[in-house]
Amino acid sequence: MPYNLDDKTVLVTGGTGSFGQKFVETVLRRHRPRKLIIFSRDELKQYEMSQTYNPATYPAVRYFLGDVRDRNRLFRAFDGVDVVIHAAALKQVPAAEYNPGEAIQTNILGAANIIDAAIEKKVEKVMALSTDKAVNPVNLYGATKLCSDKLFVAANNYAGSHPTRFSLVRYGNVIGSRGSVVPFFQQRRKTGVLPITDERMTRFFITLDQAVALVLRGLDIMVGREIFVPKIPSMGLLDLARAIAPDCRHEIVGIRPGEKMHEVLLTEDDARHTFEYPDYFKIVPEDGFAAEKAAAIAQGGKPCPEGFAFTSDRNPDRLSAEALRKLLTGG
C-alpha cells in the first residue's frame, strides 16, 4: 500500500521535472501533507508550476529555489522535513559526456550533500530515484548514478544514532517524460521519417503514474538499504516507432555513443542478493541477504534463481502497440 503522507513535511528535489510534477499532483490529490516543498534551481519552471499549484489554492505547497550542489542551502531546506524524494539529476547522456564535471557535481556530490543534510536534520526517510543506466554503465550518466546508488545504500551504515533511512527505486524509460524517445517520435512524425538507431534495440518502459506509485509503496515498506525494481514491460524500438507513427518510414542511423542495445535492471550478480515479489524485485546488500531471507519469504518474497537477470530483450512481459497507445491516450 502507498505510504501515508498526511501531516508529513515532504520535500522533492528536482520537483519541477516530469516525475516531480506528477508526484506533487498525486500527493495533493490523495494526501494531506503539512508541507510539500518543491526544491529546484529553475525559477521559470517554479513560476510555471505555481500557476497550477499555487499556495493560495494549495496552502501546503512551498517553492524553494536551490541546487543540490549547495550544501548550505540543502541544510536550510531540510529543516523540519520528514520525507525527501530525491529526483534531481543531470540525465541527458550526450550532455553528460560533453560536460562530465557538471554531471559529477550534481549526480554524485549532490547525492552526498543530500545524505549529509538528511542525517543532520533527522529526516525520517529518503527515497532516491535510480535508473537502468546505472546497471553495468556504459556512459558517464550511468556511472554517476551508480556512484549515487552506492552512496545512498552506504548512508544507512553511517547514519549512526540518527533515525534517517535511505532506499532507492530503479526503473527504465518513463513514457512521455521530457527528453525521452516517445515525445521525440511524436514530434518527428510530422516529417514522415523516424530515425531508428538499431532495429534490434529494446527498452524498458514505465508510466509516470507507475513511477510515483512505486515510490509511495517503497516509502511504506522500506527499512533502508534496499533498491526496489518494478516488474515493467519491454518494447522493441522498431515496434515503438510503428505504434506511434505507423505511416512513417524509418531511417537507420546507427547506435549512438553511450547507448546499449538492451537495458538491464537486474544483473546476474545482483540476483544473488535479490528477492522476487509478485510485482517487484528487492535488491539488498550482500551482507544482509542471509539475515533478511526468512523475513522476505514470510512476506511473500523468494530468492532469485541462479543465473537470473532482468533485461529488456529477455523480458517475457512485452508492451504491445495497442497497450502503448492506451497509455499515451490515458485509455
Is the pLDDT at 331 greater than 60, yes or no? no
Q: Give the C-alpha separation, 315 to 202, whole Å.
A: 10
Please give the Cα distance from 145 to 237 (Å, whole number): 24
Is 23's pLDDT higher than 90?
yes
Tell me if 281 is assigned to some domain.
no
Indicate whether 158 belongs to any domain.
yes
Residue % of the chain over a pLDDT of 90:
73
Q: Domain residues for 231? A: 9-267+309-329
175 touches 233 (CB < 8 A): no
Q: Could you tell me if residue 218 is inside a domain?
A: yes
Pick from 1-10, 91-100, 173-182: least confident: 173-182
Local structure of 107: helix, strand or coil: helix
CA distance 328 to 207: 9
pLDDT of residue 179: 65
| Residue reference for cell 535492471 | 265
Residues 6+ away with beta carbon under 8 Å from 81: 9, 10, 11, 37, 121, 123
Residues designated as active site = 133
Contact present, 130 and 149 (Cβ < 8 Å) = yes
Residue 141 domain flag: yes
Within a domain: 286: no
Residue 111 above 70 pLDDT?
yes
Q: What stretches of 31-62 show up as alpha helix (H) in DSSP?
A: 43-52
Crossing angle of helices 181-188 and 237-244, rounded to 10°: 50
pLDDT band of residue 283 (cuts 50, 70, 90) is very high
What pLDDT does residue 258 have? 82
pTM of the full structure: 0.94
The residue among 133 and 189 whose pLDDT is bigger is 133
Q: What is the CATH number of the domain that holds 32?
A: 3.40.50.720
With 90 as the cut, is the pLDDT of residue 255 above it? no
Write phi, then psi, for 232 (nearest 5 degrees): -120, 160
Residue 197 pLDDT > 90: no
Please give the mean pLDDT across all residues of the chain: 92
- Is residue 39 left, alpha or beta, with left meaning phi > 0 and alpha meaning psi from -120 to 50? beta
* CA atoms of 73 and 162, how far apart (whole Å): 21
| Residue 322 within any structural domain of the chain | yes
Q: Give me the number of domains the chain comprises.
A: 1
Contacts of 6 (CB under 8 A, 6+ apart): 31, 32, 33
In a domain, 297, yes or no: no
Kindly report, residue by residue over 149-188, the tens digit of the pLDDT.
999 999 999 888 889 999 999 998 888 676 678 878 888 8
What's phi and psi for 183, nearest 5 deg?
-65, -30
CA distance 274 to 290: 11
pLDDT greater at residue 5 or residue 326: 5
Specify if 282 maps to a domain.
Answer: no
| Nearest residue to 88 via CA among 128, 132, 125 | 128
